[in-house]
A = this chain, B = another copy of it.
Amino acid sequence: MATVYVTRRMQFNAAHRLHNPNKSDEWNKATFGKCNSPNYHGHNFILEVTVGGEPDPDTGYVVDLGILKKILEEKVISKVDHANLNLEVAFLHGVLPSTENFAIGIWKQIENELPSGTLHSIKLTETENNSVVYRGE
């Protein structure tokens, strides 16, 4: 009995802006600075999804990475790639698209597509200098 953690990395490009519509423009500008820029900016986001479990005795796989990739493409990448996170992504509707909230949203999108309890973490890298990890806790 051995638990191995398997990570699949994917990439997508999206635009966003940090803006809280319940607050004044002054508050938004003071709080978010350049990230509040009105006509959006964007990133090459890197998504790393980690699944944990025991390798299957027949395949040696914790998870078939081809199947995991298909889930991620259908539930996440197809919805966010070349998209505007503030305007076009249903699973972020009403959510301020900080990297933190975005990672939580991705967790919710895929959690039930995987065997119960196997999703271990979502890592989302926004730039080479910042990233977040969410573990469903």
Contact = CB atoms under 8 A, between A and B. Distances in A.
Main secondary structure of the interface of A (DSSP, over half): mixed
A34 B82 contact: yes
Interface string A1-23: 01111111111011110101011
Q: How many copies does the complex hold?
A: 6
A9 B15 CA distance: 22
A59 B43 contact: no
Interface of A: 2-11, 13-16, 18, 20, 22-23, 31-35, 37, 39-44, 50, 55, 58-62, 65-66, 81-84, 87-88, 95-101, 103-104, 127-135, 137
Nearest to A46: B128
Given A15-B15, A43-B42, A43-B43, A60 B97 contact: yes
Contacts of A82: 34-35, 37, 41
Contact of A104 (B2, B42, B98, B132): B2
Contacts of A59: 18, 20, 31-32, 96, 98
Nearest to A58: B20
Contacts of A41: 13-15, 42, 81-84
Nearest to A48: B131
Contacts of A127: 11, 13, 44
